[in-house]
Structure 1
Amino acid sequence: MTVHNQLEIKSIISDKQIITHFQPLISIRKKSVLGVEALSRSIYENEIIPPDILFKAAAKENLTVELDRLCREKAFENFARSFPTGEDQLLFFNLNTSILKTPLVGSGHIVNFVKYYGINPKNVVIEIIESDTDDILALQRFIELYRGFGFLIALDDVGAGCSNLDRIIITKPDIIKFDRALISGIHNFFYKQEICRALINLSRKIGALVVAEGVEEEREVITCLDLGVDILQGYYFMKPMTITDDRNLRILNQRIEGIVEKFKSYKLKKIDFERNRRIYFEQLLEDARNDLSALKAEEMNALLSKVAECPSVECIYVLDNAGIQVSETVCNQRELNRNAIFYPAKRGTDHSLRDFYYLLSSNEQEFYFSDPYISMASGSLTITGSARMQNQPLILCIDFIYD
């Protein structure tokens, strides 16, 4: 039988055998530690016992409330000791929302603890996993009560499991924490990037900060920063430990300074790359437009096919001034997905509501380039460039591959 199976959870609680490790939350733009998350552990027979094992043991003995309160008390005690009053640091701690039965809401333990240890409630962030409770009304009452005391509310584990957007409506969070499941390998997955980008844009609209939790690789950090994440947390910067140790702080500061310089370098290279790619796309679009402008409508298909052979081009087609497609969509010869969802637009398709038509028309621009999107011709990431034809009331459109 393992030590985990032999846990004397009653003794752990009665003897207050809970230790607190801190993991920093980093603002790269401010080059500083904004706060720490308190993570509870226990040591039993010389083995560190993680919180999930502790709470499973407590649940079996109907001691979840007692363990949860002990973890909070130790978190406040150790935070007050590590960060004396006056230091502008945030303390993040997890609330086990499964204990939020109506009689317990507003019991005052959290408020009493912060008063006892001299911690300003405005420096305390209560992390909530809404899916852990089936009593939504009790959760809402709890949030309203503690927000009234000045506490901040964070919605934890966004992007994990069966996350629902209605959690944001229920909690109205000050901070949204992206789960490791969403952050892991984000540099390699366009869909993860776009989900994060959408949630970040939403967070800006509702006035919430975004934390990327569980960053472990440099490329994950760079991508999160590029997407607009406010705060970073994870093993890349520091594992949960005694953060006030001078050596740990030096290592952490070096890591922060290092990633600042790497992100600057990345952004400069990206700007240069995007500029050169835009110049290349514009030149290709302009050359094709000029060549097509000299041709009659019935002569265009041959040139469209020639342009479509360019490795950077996915599709090419022509619209009239009303946004109606007047040519077939000529595609690169590489294999396209052909099914009920992804297929090239046909002659006669109305593109008048597409940005590459109406923004080019309304602003009288010479060229227009869309934001990256998933092509309906192939399911690949593309952008569309459009340009007015010379001497003809037509618009040339090219879908460029945007890998």
Structure 2
Amino acid sequence: MVTALQETSAIPAPPPAGFELSVTSGLQRYAVQFNEFALTSAFQPIFSVSHMRAVGYEGLLRAHDALDRPVPALDVFGEAARHGELHHLDRLAQALHLENFKMLGAEREWLFLNVHPGALTDPYHAAVLFANLKRLALSPRRIVLEVLEQRAEDLDKLAEGVRQFREEGFLIALDDFGAGHSNIERIWQLNPDIVKLDRIVLSHAAHRTEMATILPGLVSLLHEAGKLVLIEGIETEHEAQLALACDADFVQGYFFGRPNPGLADGTQASACIGELTERYRVQTEARERRNASRLAPYVRAFERAAERLAAGEPLDEVCWNFLGLDHAARCFLLDANGRQAGSNIVLRADRAARETRFSPLADAQGANWLRRPYFRAAIEAPERVHVTRPYLSINEAMPCVTLSVATRVGSQLCVLCGDIDWVEEAPA
């Protein structure tokens, strides 16, 4: 593959044949003819929430027919695919975006280029791309190649092509993760630097509580795999707040900035993200206050139960006040090694009936909960009540919060635990 280039301040060479300079909205940009379509570029900004500014731009194809009517880019690519011209159009679009990106005057931002998987294994395509970069004095380190969500006939060959481009300095993004053929296996095989979550993932999270709960875990999984996460298709403030809540690194969508020929308005973008972050802070603090108020009666009853247990009263008697609260599920006792002593204490008949669906799990005597955060937290800081984050209870496969406290019962250190059914409540 061609040796990596360093970006310089050299004057770019003339554009390829057929590229014509035009003025749109007061900005100069290049256009080119492809069959009956006139093509040009638009750039949608990609923002870092933490930096509060655009860190990249995705090059998007804009097409018009002979009557100057807009034509969806998908239709243009579909037409090219039917005539065996897909790779030619792919190279033409990339050259066009590179040319127009250079004219933007962006000094440090990335250019995100959509790439058909087959183009990454084509030596001619690589040579053309490097020739364009050399002509424009752009470093590969300024380019993020987005591997489009399409089935690759030879995934091993694609992975090798991706590896070679990365070695030359390009960043690799996996596009549309969560849709079609983009799944966790592709992350292991292609090893992208950035994963772009498909809009459908965000849409589900915006309309379904269980998906909104899953989204932060998905982002966390990708982070643990060493990938930066970009959430695309953000159109509303609610969706933007979801992106902030799940700790996404980058955001893209109409809410933050629409595609246009020029650079994003830095002042406006910073103000937008700043206001969004402040509202997120206010909402987060309000939710934490609601949760603390909601938990307060459970914590008081649980503290009293621990005091009575330490005084020598039986477990099934000390838990009555706690289990009498509306969403209290069960109490159980662990030894200093995390092993459960005795059965779960469940007082209400409706609770016992519900647990029959998971009857193989009902008998927890002797179970070892050493790995659970509630046990570790209690052992590390005895004599105080600890509260977990919501998690999935193995008892009923539903969200719960666990209270725990390490206390001495006679001469033995034990950990008293109490589960609470937990469904996030909407703000009043």
Conserved 8 A contact 1:383-1:399: yes
- What is residue 7 of structure 1 aligned with on the other side? none
Distance 1:134 1:320 in 2: 55
Deviation sequence 1:222-280 (CA, Å, 0-9, x none): 222222111111121122223437xx666544422321322232343345445555655
**Displacement of 1:17:** 1.6
Q: 1:259 aligns with which of 256, 272, 276?
A: 276
Instruction: Say whether residues 1:301 and 2:320 are aligned partners.
Output: no
Instruction: Say whether residues 1:380 and 2:398 are aligned partners.
Output: yes
Distance 1:280 1:113 in 2: 67
Instruction: Say whether residues 1:91 and 2:111 are aligned partners.
Output: yes
Instruction: Say whether residues 1:13 and 2:34 are aligned partners.
Output: yes
Instruction: Say whether residues 1:55 and 2:87 are aligned partners.
Output: no
Distance 2:45 2:392 in 1: 37
Change (3 A) 1:51 1:78: same
**Displacement of 1:395:** 3.4
Within 5 Å, give how 1:198-209 maps onto structure 2. Answer: 198-209=217-228
**Displacement of 1:313:** 1.6
TM-score relative to the length of structure 1: 0.83
Conserved 8 A contact 1:18-1:41: yes
Give the number of aligned pairs.
386
Q: Structure 1: which 5+ residue stretches go unaligned?
A: 1-10
Deviation sequence 1:166-216 (CA, Å, 0-9, x none): 211222111111111111252564553554434433443444321011112
Q: 1:73 aligns with which of 92, 95, 101?
A: 95
Deviation sequence 1:63-102 (CA, Å, 0-9, x none): 1111111111111111111225xx11111111011445x5
Change (3 A) 1:82 1:176: same
Distance 2:206 2:348 in 1: 27
Conserved 8 A contact 2:378-2:384: yes
What is the one-letter code of the residue matched to 2:328? V
Change (3 A) 1:321 1:169: closer
Distance 2:145 2:322 in 1: 57
**Displacement of 1:321:** 4.9
Change (3 A) 1:133 1:347: closer
Q: 2:302 aligns with which of 266, 285, 288?
A: 285
Change (3 A) 1:209 1:352: closer
Change (3 A) 1:281 1:354: farther
Q: 1:222 aligns with which of 232, 238, 241?
A: 241
**Bigger shift: residues 195-204 or 372-381:** 195-204
Deviation sequence 1:331-388 (CA, Å, 0-9, x none): 6565675465577633524134342335533654533333321123333211211223
What is the one-letter code of the residue matched to 1:95? V
Distance 1:208 1:225 in 2: 17
Distance 1:334 1:42 in 2: 63
Distance 1:57 1:176 in 2: 28
Distance 1:287 1:116 in 2: 75
Conserved 8 A contact 1:27-1:231: yes
Change (3 A) 1:375 1:241: same
Q: CA RMSD in A?
A: 3.1
**Bigger shift: residues 186-195 or 252-261:** 186-195
Q: 2:53 aligns with which of 32, 54, 60?
A: 32
**Displacement of 1:294:** 4.6
Distance 2:281 2:93 in 1: 40
What is the one-letter code of the residue matched to 2:117? T
- What is residue 126 of structure 1 aligned with on the other side? 145
- What is residue 345 of structure 2 aligned with on the other side? 329
Distance 1:189 1:303 in 2: 38
TM-score relative to the length of structure 2: 0.79
Percentage identity across aligned positions? 25
Distance 2:354 2:419 in 1: 15
Q: Structure 2: which 5+ residue stretches go unaligned?
A: 1-31, 424-428
What is the one-letter code of the residue matched to 2:68? N
Distance 2:201 2:244 in 1: 14
Distance 1:21 1:93 in 2: 12
Change (3 A) 1:76 1:347: closer
Distance 1:149 1:16 in 2: 33
What is the one-letter code of the residue matched to 2:63? S
Deviation sequence 1:2-56 (CA, Å, 0-9, x none): xxxxxxxxx9515772121211111121111111111112111333222221111
Distance 1:112 1:342 in 2: 66
Change (3 A) 1:179 1:113: same
Distance 1:111 1:342 in 2: 63
